[in-house]
């Protein structure tokens, strides 16, 4: 039942103007001293938004650790390969040293005592100089062998230490990731628990209240002129259809139906997405992991339109925490995959997207730009034009178009022509 209820309840939290709704402390969010029937619609909405925001914060923290763990595994593999190579070379040097010792012991080396005495006692003094030079060359070769052996041992020891450190770091990140995964699941269980206590009437009231607050925040944002145009669209930028259906009911452009995943849906549970309602958008060919590659000469506006086309084509696919396609997404998984398709590798998490990517003023917003929400940058969407964003909202919902002011705005970033390093 929780999956159906989640699909019915409130889309993402409200705008910058949503500061009108007071935040609920974590302790109050997790504990319910009063019965649901005794709480006002506003209190229920605030509590749900707080729980969803905390779940998304936990998800983005998990995503960040997952990214670091992936890089650390790569580093550990590289050091392990270096260590194998160093030890192979060291074994070869040990073999050479062993052969040299045997030759000296058997008197076959130019530097053996027997060969040295023969040189001193030679009956042909005219050959002594040549034999002395041969002794020097032999001594040089053997000194080089000893030096190579010593250096090889030091290098193997150094790499072994680095490899152990890298493995320790990898294990530490794996443990941290597990704790964060458990935290995400705990937050999602809290949401399920609260939703299970609500009646159908309460769900409808909460959904209606959120739609009203979002609509009010959107009107205020557009009336402020912050977007630089009366209609909320960037000058000259064509956007998707103006209908958003950002409410909490079903529909192909947003919301969920009975088949929507519950808040605790696993990241490794793919689900087939419904067909995209944006029929005019050409379906991108390859998926992000089959990207046409980096295109340094592509104009940023063109890249933005390409990223947006990919994101719009994902409408109807479910939100699954930690997912980055192709069958499901979380918020930053959608934006990073869309820009990967456009040939730009950007950070995986919304926090790193906000920290690393170039920022642009709100009045210069254009399709493809990333809109960051909340002070902690815990949510991200992609601007689609006409005052709308395409986003993977939260657990239990699907990728959809929403008003720009559907969450409290933090700022806007725009991936530039230079790829941001994200080693995968």
Report pLDDT digits (tens) over 389-416: 999 998 888 999 999 999 999 999 999 7
Nearest to 304, CA basis, from 410, 225, 413, 200:
413
pLDDT of residue 266: 42
**Contact (CB, 8 A) for 6 and 398:** no
- Token duo for residue 157: 């020891």
Domain limits, the chain: 36-224, 231-424
DSSP line for 166-226: HHHHHHHHHHHHHHHHHHHHHHHHHHHHHHHT--HHHHHHHHHHHHHHHHHHHHHHHHTTT
- Yes or no: say if 270 and 279 are a contact pair by the CB < 8 Å rule: no
Largest CA distance in the chain: 117
Q: Which residue has the tokens 């009975």?
A: 258
Question: In the structure, what pLDDT confidence band is assigned to residue 337 with cuts at 50, 70 and 90?
Answer: very high
- Calculate mean pLDDT across residues 241-247: 42
CATH number among 1.20.120, 1.25.40, 1.10.10, 1.10.287, domain 36-224:
1.10.287
The band of 38, judged by pLDDT with boundaries at 50, 70 and 90, is low
Q: What is the spatial distance between Cα 251 and Cα 176, in angstroms, rounded to a whole number?
A: 38
Mutual orientation of helices 300-312 and 331-341 as an angle, nearest 10°? 130
Distance, in Å, from the CA atom of 395 to the CA atom of 328, rounded to the nearest integer, reads 11
Hey, what are 16's tokens? 């910058």
> Could you read off the pLDDT of 366-379 as tens digits, one per residue?
999 999 999 989 99
Stretch 286-297: mean pLDDT: 42
- Spatial separation of the C-alpha atoms in residues 248 and 153, rounded to whole Å: 66
- Alpha-carbon span 377 to 411, nearest angstrom: 9
Beta bridge partners of 318: 398
pTM, to two decimals: 0.57
* CB neighbours of residue 149 within 10 Å: 17
Q: Is 309 helix (H, G, I), strand (E, B) or coil?
A: helix
Least confident of 154-168, 175-189, 264-278: 264-278
Mean pLDDT estimate for the chain: 71
Q: pLDDT grade, residue 2 (50/70/90)?
A: very low
The 8-class DSSP code of residue 384 comes to E
For the stretch 104-116, what's the b/e string if a residue is b when 16 or more beta carbons lie within 10 angstroms of its beta carbon?
A: beeeebbebeebe
Which residues are CB-neighbours of 209 under 8 A, at least 6 positions away? 41, 42, 45
The CATH number given to 231-424 is: 3.90.1720.10
Angle, vertex CA 51, rays to CA 257 and CA 254, nearest 5: 25
* C-alpha to C-alpha distance for 308 and 293, rounded to whole angstroms: 17
């Amino acid at each position: 039942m929780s999956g159906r209820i989640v699909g019915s309840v409130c889309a993402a939290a409200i705008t910058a103007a949503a500061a009108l709704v007071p935040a609920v402390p974590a302790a109050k969010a997790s504990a319910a001293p009063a019965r649901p029937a005794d709480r006002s619609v506003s209190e229920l909405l605030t509590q749900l938004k707080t729980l969803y925001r905390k779940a998304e914060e936990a998800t983005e923290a998990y995503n960040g650790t997952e990214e670091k763990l992936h890089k650390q595994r790569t580093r550990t593999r590289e050091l392990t390969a270096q260590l194998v190579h160093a030890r192979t070379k060291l074994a070869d040097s040990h073999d050479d040293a062993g052969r040299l010792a045997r030759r000296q012991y058997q008197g076959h080396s130019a530097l053996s005592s027997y060969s040295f005495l023969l040189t001193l006692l030679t009956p042909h003094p005219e050959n002594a100089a040549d034999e002395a030079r041969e002794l020097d060359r032999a001594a040089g070769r053997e000194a080089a062998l000893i030096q190579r052996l010593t250096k090889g041992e030091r290098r193997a020891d150094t790499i072994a230490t680095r490899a152990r450190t890298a493995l320790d770091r990898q294990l530490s990140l794996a443990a941290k990731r597990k704790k964060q995964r458990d935290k995400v699941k705990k937050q999602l269980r809290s949401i399920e628990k609260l939703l299970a206590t609500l009646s159908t009437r309460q769900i409808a009231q909460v959904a209606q209240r959120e739609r009203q607050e979002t609509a009010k925040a959107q009107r205020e944002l557009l009336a402020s002129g912050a977007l630089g145009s009366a209609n909320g669209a960037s000058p000259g930028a064509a956007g998707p259809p103006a209908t958003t259906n950002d409410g909490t009911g079903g529909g192909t452009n947003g919301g969920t139906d009975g088949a929507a995943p519950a808040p605790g849906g696993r990241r490794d549970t793919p689900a087939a997405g419904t067909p995209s309602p944006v029929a005019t958008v050409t379906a991108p060919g390859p998926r992000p992991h089959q990207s046409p590659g980096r295109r340094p000469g592509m104009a940023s506006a063109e890249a933005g339109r390409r990223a947006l086309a990919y994101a719009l084509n994902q409408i109807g696919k479910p939100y699954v925490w930690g997912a980055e396609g192709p069958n499901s997404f979380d918020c930053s998984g959608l934006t990073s995959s869309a820009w990967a398709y456009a040939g730009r590798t950007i950070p995986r998490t919304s926090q790193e997207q906000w920290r690393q990517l170039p920022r642009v003023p709100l009045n210069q917003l254009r399709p493809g730009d990333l809109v960051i929400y909340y002070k902690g940058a815990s949510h991200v969407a992609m601007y689609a034009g006409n005052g709308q964003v395409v986003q993977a909202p939260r657990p239990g919902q699907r990728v959809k178009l929403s008003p720009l002011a559907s969450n409290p705005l933090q700022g806007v970033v725009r991936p530039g022509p230079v790829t941001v390093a994200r080693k995968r």
